[in-house]
């Protein structure tokens, strides 16, 4: 008898040979997995290191890690967790942050370079370079480019406006006059016009907050009322046309005036608060222009609902190690945001659905923004490879889990009443509690340092970086931190 020939296998295709064939397939599958794993380990930009191995820099790397970063920290979208990654990375590598005097860059006003600590205008003496610009601002490209080189890596994060509205309502209940007057988010969204006045205090928190944070102009109705606050006096020079000369390729990628025709920009969705028609915005010139403009500036926009997938793509784009994007969730509110990256619609009641639909319609510009960047993210996932991404996400989660177990009491975020150490107590704001972390005792000095970095909330971390860059003379920033309007 000769060896098994294909013809023989076909002829004897019975239960026994089926078992043999299955065995062969499984062996091949296993070999492929092994090979796949090897392959993954060799992929540039994504060095899979052992958890808890000392990790100063990927050992083998075919691309230099990017260390000039602009992160637009949008509100209520998971951005505090990204900030922690940036704080840690910059801290470990001795990078210089472009820091605000307090915790934000004059928000909600448009960003000004002069608000950066240690910034010198051109011709005002030698300027030490900045590496990372990442604290809250309303984006203003012209001024950002005074501080950061135009070939910096620009990125940001967006979130489904319905989830964002729930979070913002609870967080800014007393900051936004529209929210303050509303008994509930459902009541607000059922008739937003009864509560919302453009130009009223904190109104930007109550509608299209992402669009606002990206520094985009609003349709005429709102623009007219906001002019005094946000737009330059000269109506013929919006901030987008005033790109600095010598701003580099980033400024030349798109000439806004060639695309943006204010005369044809129609009021979008305003006055039609919750009709499904207001969701159909693809053809609005204002929105098309806004999205094209953002595409020309931002290298990557993360999506909160696919947070871990986004982090893997970020590590890949920056040529960072996977460990560099392993972190804990920060600034999560009790009873709401633990499931930031869950996209399941299970268990949604009819009221939930209605609220979601109304929130998306009311935040029409943000919805267009979100759908657009969700689409871009998935196109990138496609390019990266779905299977490759899934295994990297699984690895990321396993490492996060391992770190949480290693560093944290309870292995997870806790009610702030348990967080007695001031260094880790998150700033409490809004109507829900903001969760924090308690470190386990008995960690080795090296682990202690890493766990502290992982658990340090954004305000304390900013103070720490500030003290590092500008060694304090007298003041103790933590004691002077008072409630601010985030």
Ligand X SMILES: *[C@@H]1O[C@H](CO)[C@@H](O)[C@H](O)[C@H]1NC(C)=O
Binding site for ligand X (CB under 6 A): 371, 374, 378
- In the complex, the smallest distance separating the C-beta of residue 313 from ligand X, rounded to whole angstroms, is 14
- In the complex, the smallest distance separating the C-beta of residue 305 from ligand X, rounded to whole angstroms, is 7
Strands (E), 166-311: 300-303
Query: Residues 304, 159: contact at Cβ < 8 Å?
Result: yes
- In the complex, the smallest distance separating the C-beta of residue 374 from ligand X, rounded to whole angstroms, is 4
- In the complex, the smallest distance separating the C-beta of residue 367 from ligand X, rounded to whole angstroms, is 8
Shorter beta-carbon distance to ligand X: residue 374 or 391:
374
SS3 label, residue 136? strand
- In the complex, the smallest distance separating the C-beta of residue 162 from ligand X, rounded to whole angstroms, is 9
Question: Which of 339, 343, 321, 342 lies closest to 329 in space, CA to CA?
Answer: 339
Query: Residues 210, 77: contact at Cβ < 8 Å?
Result: yes
Tokens 């989830």 belong to which residue?
Answer: 163
* β 300-303/153-158 pair status: parallel
Shorter beta-carbon distance to ligand X: residue 286 or 381:
381
Q: What length is written for the chain?
A: 486
Shorter beta-carbon distance to ligand X: residue 302 or 371:
371
- In the complex, the smallest distance separating the C-beta of residue 222 from ligand X, rounded to whole angstroms, is 24
Shorter beta-carbon distance to ligand X: residue 195 or 362:
362
Alpha carbon separation from 23 to 16, 37, 196, 215, 390 (Å, rounded): 11, 21, 66, 59, 25
Please list the helix, strand and coil fractions of the chain in percent, rounded to the nearest 5, in that order: 50, 5, 45
User: 350 is written with which tokens?
Assistant: 């009819």
Residue nearest to ligand X (CB): 374
Give me the half-sphere count of Cα atoms (radius 13 Å) on the Cβ side of residue 409: 14
Query: Residues 150, 352: contact at Cβ < 8 Å?
Result: no
Q: How far apart are CA 43 and CA 182, in angstroms?
A: 52
Shorter beta-carbon distance to ligand X: residue 390 or 415:
390
Partnered with residue 71 across adjacent β-strands are 155
Shorter beta-carbon distance to ligand X: residue 116 or 165:
165
Shorter beta-carbon distance to ligand X: residue 108 or 161:
161
Opening angle at CA 402, ends 396 and 406, nearest 5: 145
Shorter beta-carbon distance to ligand X: residue 374 or 485:
374
- In the complex, the smallest distance separating the C-beta of residue 303 from ligand X, rounded to whole angstroms, is 7
Shorter beta-carbon distance to ligand X: residue 205 or 373:
373
- In the complex, the smallest distance separating the C-beta of residue 14 from ligand X, rounded to whole angstroms, is 43
User: 159 is written with which tokens?
Assistant: 């979130």
Helix (H) or strand (E) holding 209: helix 209-213
Q: How far apart are CA 268 and CA 274, in angstroms?
A: 12
Query: Residues 361, 278: contact at Cβ < 8 Å?
Result: yes
Shorter beta-carbon distance to ligand X: residue 188 or 373:
373
SS3 label, residue 104? strand
């Amino acid at each position: 008898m000769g060896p098994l020939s294909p013809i023989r296998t076909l002829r004897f295709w019975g239960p026994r040979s089926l078992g043999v064939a299955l065995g062969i397939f499984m062996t091949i599958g296993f070999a492929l997995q092994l090979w796949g794993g090897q392959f993954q380990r060799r992929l540039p930009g994504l060095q899979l290191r052992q958890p808890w191995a000392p990790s100063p820099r990927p050992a083998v790397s075919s691309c230099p890690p990017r260390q000039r970063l602009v992160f637009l920290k949008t509100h209520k979208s998971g951005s505090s967790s990204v900030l922690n990654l940036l704080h840690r990375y910059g801290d470990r590598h001795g990078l210089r942050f472009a820091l605000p005097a307090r915790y934000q860059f004059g928000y909600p006003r448009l960003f000004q370079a002069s608000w950066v600590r240690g910034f010198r205008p051109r011709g005002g003496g030698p300027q030490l370079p900045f590496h990372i610009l990442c604290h809250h601002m309303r984006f203003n490209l012209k001024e950002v480019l005074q501080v950061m080189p135009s070939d910096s890596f620009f990125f940001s994060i967006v979130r489904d406006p319905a989830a964002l509205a729930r979070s913002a309502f609870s967080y800014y209940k007393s900051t936004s006059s529209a929210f303050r007057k509303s008994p509930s988010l459902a009541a607000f969204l059922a008739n937003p016009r009864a509560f919302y006045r453009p130009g009223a205090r904190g109104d930007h928190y109550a509608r299209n907050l992402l669009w606002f944070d990206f520094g985009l102009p609003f349709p005429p109705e709102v623009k007219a009322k906001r002019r005094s606050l946000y737009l330059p006096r000269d109506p013929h020079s919006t901030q987008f046309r005033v790109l600095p000369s010598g701003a580099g390729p980033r400024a030349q990628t798109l000439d806004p005036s060639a695309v943006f025709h204010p005369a044809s920009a129609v009021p979008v969705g305003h006055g039609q608060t919750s009709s499904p028609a207001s969701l159909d915005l693809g053809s609005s010139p204002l929105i098309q222009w806004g999205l094209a403009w953002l595409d020309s500036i931002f290298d990557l926009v993360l999506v909160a609902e696919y947070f871990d997938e986004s982090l893997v793509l970020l590590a890949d784009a920056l040529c960072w190690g996977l460990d560099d994007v392993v972190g804990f969730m920060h600034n999560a509110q009790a009873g709401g945001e633990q499931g930031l990256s869950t996209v399941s619609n299970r268990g949604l009641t009819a009221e939930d659905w209605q609220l979601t639909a109304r929130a998306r319609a009311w935040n029409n510009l943000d919805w267009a923004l979100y759908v657009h960047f969700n689409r871009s993210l998935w196109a990138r996932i496609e390019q990266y490879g779905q299977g490759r991404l899934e295994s990297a996400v699984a690895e990321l989660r396993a490492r996060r889990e391992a770190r949480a177990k290693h560093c944290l009491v309870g292995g997870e975020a806790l009610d702030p009443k348990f967080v007695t150490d001031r260094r880790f107590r998150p700033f409490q704001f809004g109507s829900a509690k903001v969760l924090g972390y308690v470190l386990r005792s008995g960690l080795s000095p090296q682990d202690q340092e890493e766990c502290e970095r992982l658990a340090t909330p954004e305000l304390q971390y900013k103070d720490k970086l500030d003290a590092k860059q500008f060694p304090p003379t007298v003041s103790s920033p933590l004691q002077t931190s008072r409630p601010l309007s985030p």
